[in-house]
A and B are shown apart, each in its own frame.
Chain A
Amino acid sequence: MSDQSSVGKPVSRLEGRLKVTGAAKYAAEYDAPNLLYGYVINSTITKGKITSIDTSAATAVEGVVAVFSHENRPELPWLDIKYADMDAPPGTVFKPLYDNEIKYNGQPIALLVANDFETARYASTLVRFEYEEEFFETCLDNNLEKGRDAKKGIATLLKPPPPAPTGNFEKAFENSAVKHTAEYLHSTEHHNPMELFATTTVYEGNGKLTIFDKTQGTINNQLYVANAFGLSYKNVRVIAPFVGGTFGSGLRPQHQLFLCVMAALELKRNVRVTLDRKQMFTFGHRPQTYQKLRFSTDENGSITAMNHLAIGETSQFEDYAESVVTWSHKLYPAANTLLEYKLAPLDLPSPLDMRAPGGCTAMHAIECMMDELSYKLKMDPLELRLRNYSEIDPSTGKSFTSKELKQCYLKAAERFGWKDRNPEPGSMTRGNKLVGYGMATGIWDAYQFPSRIEAIITKEGKLIINNAVTDIGTGTFTVMTQVAADALGLPLEDVTFNYGDSQKPFSMFQGGSAIAASTASAIIIAARALKKKLLKKAKAISNSPLKAAAEDDVMFKNGTIRLKKDPMSVVSFQEIVASNNGRPVRTVNMGMPHAFKLRKYTKATHSAAFVEVEVDKELKTIAVTRAVSAVAAGKILNPKTARSQITGSMVWGISKALHEETILDEKLGKYINTNLAEYHIPVHADVNELDVIFADEPDELINEAGVKGVGEIGLVAMPAAIANAIFHATGKRINKLPVHFDELL
């Protein structure tokens, strides 16, 4: 099998051609007969009540079909649970058009439906709303004292509250030889994947809907629609074969889905609702977060005490929480810890997971703190990390299923040339530029979700794998095809992976970097069962050359089963299906995390980032001139798609450190730079050499595939590495992200 094995090879995306030629269809591109177009109308005030709505001018426009608002919406369930999706935080879920209350600026307050998009968008400007405005609070900085513990709920399973204090932080900190205190502030970031949020609902009649949606979870949205609108699950089909980036924005059903389905059901017509770019700033976002850290070490650099306080922003109706303060103690052993996480409710929409939520926020603060300590200790920053390296998880005392962070540090440092660094800030120059080297550590979870796989051998002897999972652009389709091909000993072209469809067997939403591990493990389990079944049927064929063969005696190769000792003794998959009266051979299996076995272990991915920046001596403009990231994430199924995940998230790291912020005008209570000209993300000119190393990290424990996932880990270390490099170049610490170059003047 080794001659044709595909896992571990840099296979190009199987759907790549469809994507670059425009043949791949996204949610807003599915055609349906007599399609209507909905345009969402957003609140222009921040808090208060709608007192009246005048739709007369809008409905007078030719082509306008309907205007839905809280005044004329269909009857909807009032029970919150009916609207709760799998990723809903504790609290009261937002119900679009439920009543006249305005909870945040940009809240969807009506849907105008017309015969074409342009008419819908124009006529929406003619609907007049009268409001009664109320006092609002949107600025985290002014409301830190409102911080309180986060409510607990189902979401707490993936994002546990901070652990209890250990030792005596205050005393240990007070008595330590070296200590440092610092505050960090992160700006809001909004989801801006290339594809805008969109839903096309096909009204099939008899309570049946086919929904093309931009989502990370077809089944999550199927359940949401069925529950909210009282439809039977089997009558709601959600399809998302191509998804143009989500990064967490598609974990929860967004309001365009709700409004689109509502309009389709009410009008008994096919309806499409697409958000425009400005409207991408009217829902979930990475929350503003304030952090205060107090760390101390002994004179040798061993950490003695860690206090990490984080206060995040949430809405007035849901407690969106992140794991921010849990990371330092998973990395560094300290006998005295005080980890505190608070939420300050503001008049804003609920925040939403965004790539490495909490982790990249926390690690920026933690790893800048480590850099500060290294200077106070006059110790190389890498040496300080190695001094405090832990082979076990210090927060629980458990072993890791695998942890090759040290390998990451050493390989990346070598590739980067860290040894050439003169630690003195401002000491390294290149023409008009100050040169800075910075490094930081990354850590992220290694989740696995349940996943159900249907595996079928057809009469042509080919393999079909069915699963509801999406491919949000990460390469899932390609990688899972590789895993399935190897598991059955088939070439890639003999495998069809059907996905992105809620009618296929169960998958959780695609998030938390969990899907590679979840789906691959389930495929391996299903393939094992399928092979067993195929062998059994092969042996049952009259005169089967495999009659006496046990599982260990045979190999699966190129659509056949052969005796290892006598490869001429062979039965083909086609013969097996033929002997099965032509009926395809099929298995359905559930892949589950090994919760019992793994309770003794901590699962995590790790990374190390090394960054060079140039800062202009007089003008202080900043450029990330090169970066090396080494990642330990178990087995790498496809180094090409995995590398793309890491380089993409390294670019995001540059963005978070230097560019990306949604500016909130606290007097107006709204975001003001809501377009891609003013909401800056890096362009090509900002991205230079990016180098990726994958550590060799075999992991026999974690799951059948030995996989941990690479969707987020590449981001986590980058912001701190950049901030530390800027300090090294300039001697200035800027703890508010993004760093504006003029703050260095």
Chain B
Amino acid sequence: MNNFDYQQAASIADGIQLVSTNNKAAFVAGGTNLIDLWKYRLMEPELLVDLNQVKEHHSIEEKEDGSVRLGAFVSNADTAYHPIIEKRYPLLSKAILAGASAQIRNMASNGGNLLQRTRCYYFYDPNVPCNKRTPGSGCSAIDGYNRIHAILGASDNCIAVFPSDMCVALAALDAVVNTSGTDGERSIPFSEFHRLPGDMPEQDNNLRHGEIITSIDLPEKGFSGNYSYLKLRDRHSYAFALVSVATGLELSGDIITDARIALGGLAHKPWRINEAELFLKGKQANAESFAGAAEILLQGAKGFKYNSFKIELAKRAIIRNGLMALHPEQQLPGARPSA
């Protein structure tokens, strides 16, 4: 780890000022991914600007329009266990608790969760080609060991996946990311926050240098009656998703009146296809309907040598999670498949 300067930002404006004027500066909140990346020499900031002293954005509040605002500096654990979230957005709570470990969730901030970098093995090894780490150097994963990699939305430059669980639920819930930067404040719909790799895989999202995530808004509709998060992975805790599914349903009897499905572990961003959700509207909440939605969600999926299984696994996971959403009370810890 290189030597660096450290400053505490007194306010959001102070933080923006410190980082936007120094292209070797970085923010730190929870630090749960940053410190790893630093030790691996993937980031070597010369100035670290600590946002933890900023007074605002440390709470979760219900707003008059029925939405809920998550402060960017609230920890993932405090968010998952917050009474408002548990009651109104249990899908988010379950997704957060399926990620990382208790210790990491205690440290990790909500804003930081959106900014996690991929877990691609090759990205973490500075001695091998990786377009995301070193643009133009090539992709070691496309012809390498790509079991954990993308089957949707990948490019010839990068097949990395975005590792967050929390963000899969935020995508399903149509969250909005509020930011503050040199150009003022922005509200970015969740689906437009993260990017597909295209020919700029080094850029995970549309946040600008020096811009700070201040809060995340959850629209009123939380799908708290019928929801499920399912996470499939190589061990039952502390492993990233090979496939994950966040499902929220609104039902009238056994007819679906509204649906949300977001997929994790399959692409460079949480994967949502509006047509799949429209397809479900008016249909019976059964395996056949979810199978139809799964086909739409996986359209264009392309497997590589070691990850083609994800296509079939994702389809089955979408069906199962749809059925699990009908019995949210039966959900198991760790977002495991229902018993």
Contacts and interface: CB of A to CB of B under 8 A. Distances in A.
B320 A619 contact: yes
B309 A745 contact: yes
A153 B238 CA distance: 43
In this complex, the member of B309, B312, B337, B339 whose beta carbon has the largest number of chain A beta carbons within 10 angstroms is: B337
Contacts of B237: 683-686
B306 to A, nearest CB: 9
Nearest to A676: B238
Interface in A361-383: none
B237 to A, nearest CB: 4
A673 B338 contact: no
B122 A672 contact: yes
A238 B38 CA distance: 35
Contacts of A680: 234-235, 239
B160 to A, nearest CB: 14
Contacts, number: 88
Given A125-B41, A667-B144, A685-B236, A672 B125 contact: yes
Contacts of A740: 147, 234
B279 interface: no
Contacts of B125: 670, 672
B124 interface: yes
B312 A745 contact: yes
Given A665-B144, A675-B124, A742 B236 contact: no
A92 B195 CA distance: 52
A684 B236 CA distance: 8
A4 interface: no
Given A618-B316, A678-B121, A667 B143 contact: yes
In this complex, the member of B1, B125, B234, B239 whose beta carbon has the largest number of chain A beta carbons within 10 angstroms is: B234
B313 A683 contact: no
A677 B118 CA distance: 12
A618 B320 contact: yes
B227 to A, nearest CB: 19
A682 B235 contact: yes
Contact of A618 (B124, B147, B235, B319): B319
Interface in A414-430: 430
A673 B121 contact: yes
Contacts of A742: 242, 309-310, 313
A232 interface: no
B140 A668 contact: yes
B295 to A, nearest CB: 16
Contact of A619 (B1, B147, B240, B317): B317
Interface string A587-625: 000000000000000000000000000001011010100
A558 interface: no
Q: Identify whether the interface residues of A are mostly helix, strand, loop, or mixed.
A: loop
A616 B127 CA distance: 40
Nearest to B230: A619
Contact of A121 (B1, B147, B239): B1
B283 interface: no
A55 interface: no
Interface residues of A, number: 37
A50 interface: no
Contacts of A35: none
A663 B121 CA distance: 10
Interface string B309-339: 1101100110110000000000001101111
Given A675-B124, A745-B313, A621 B339 contact: no
B273 to A, nearest CB: 21
A584 B121 CA distance: 61
A745 B333 CA distance: 23
A432 interface: yes
A118 to B, nearest CB: 6
Contacts of B337: 432, 616, 619, 621
Interface string B125-151: 101100000000000100111010000
Contacts of A118: 1
A678 B36 CA distance: 13
Contacts of A743: 309
A668 B232 CA distance: 29
Interface in B217-274: 232, 234-240, 242
Contacts of B1: 118, 121-122
Interface string A634-672: 000000000000000000000000110001010110101
A686 B234 CA distance: 10
A719 B316 CA distance: 28
B2 interface: yes
A567 interface: no
A44 interface: yes
A125 B144 CA distance: 26
A677 B119 contact: yes
Contact of A668 (B128, B235, B310): B128
A623 B336 CA distance: 11
Given A118-B1, A619-B320, A663-B145, 16 more contacts: A122-B2, A122-B3, A431-B338, A431-B339, A621-B337, A658-B235, A663-B121, A667-B144, A668-B140, A678-B119, A683-B238, A684-B237, A685-B235, A685-B334, A741-B232, A743-B309
13 contacts: A125-B41, A433-B339, A618-B319, A659-B235, A667-B140, A668-B144, A672-B121, A672-B122, A672-B125, A683-B235, A683-B237, A686-B236, A745-B309
Interface of B: 1-3, 41, 119, 121-122, 124-125, 127-128, 140, 143-145, 147, 232, 234-240, 242, 309-310, 312-313, 316-317, 319-320, 333-334, 336-339
Interface of A: 44, 118, 121-122, 125, 430-433, 616, 618-619, 621, 623, 658-659, 663, 665, 667-668, 670, 672-673, 675, 677-678, 680, 682-686, 740-743, 745
Q: Which 4 A-B pairs have the closest CB atoms?
A: A685-B236, A742-B309, A685-B237, A672-B121
